[in-house]
Amino acid sequence: MAIESRHKTNKNFSMSGMSDIVFLLLIFFMITSTLIVPAAQNVQLPESNNQTQSNPALVVSIGQDKTIYVDDQEYVLSELESVLRKKLENYGEAPTVRLNADRNLNMEEVFAFLDIAKRNRYKVILGTRPSG
């Protein structure tokens, strides 16, 4: 007499739960990657204990060799104001600009940029790296 089990195991595997998890992880990483604004150029930022969490409209980088980049494109100081006006005209009354200035940079270019921002009523965030 053969003894058979009354409980038959289901050998099928449902992938619906796994695909839901993968989809949610994909959405999570897409959202978190858009929140990070990378420095466009190789700029050694100064250290700071305070980190501002804000989404700037664009990033202006000034390197040690006084090169000025606005979102990966190089410009000279004389054309910076017109470029900023053109790029920020659709961002409302007081758009936010992140300034990544090299820590070894002479402050003349930084003051020139801050003067442009003041004339055009831009909010400026100084890019820093966490200390420690």
The predicted pLDDT at position 61 comes to 86
The predicted pLDDT at position 25 comes to 92
The predicted pLDDT at position 48 comes to 63
pLDDT block averages, 10 residues each, the chain of length 132: 73 82 89 60 62 73 84 85 87 84 81 88 80 64
The predicted pLDDT at position 44 comes to 58
* Alpha-helical segments (H) within 1-132: 16-34, 77-88, 107-120
What is the rounded end-to-end Cα distance, in angstroms, of the chain?
75
Q: In this structure, is residue 36 part of a structural domain?
A: no
Q: In this structure, is residue 31 part of a structural domain?
A: no
The predicted pLDDT at position 9 comes to 76
pTM, to two decimals: 0.58
Q: What is the CATH number of the domain that holds 108?
A: 3.30.420
Domain that holds residue 56: 47-130
The predicted pLDDT at position 127 comes to 78
Q: In this structure, is residue 66 part of a structural domain?
A: yes
Q: In this structure, is residue 122 part of a structural domain?
A: yes
The predicted pLDDT at position 62 comes to 86
> Which letter, b or e, does each residue of 64-103 get, where b requires 16 or more Cβ atoms within 10 Å of its Cβ?
eeeebbbeeeeeeeeebbebbeebbeeeeeebbbbbbbbe
Q: In this structure, is residue 126 part of a structural domain?
A: yes
Q: In this structure, is residue 90 part of a structural domain?
A: yes
Q: How many domains is the chain partitioned into structurally?
A: 1
Phi, psi of 53 (to 5 degrees): -105, 100
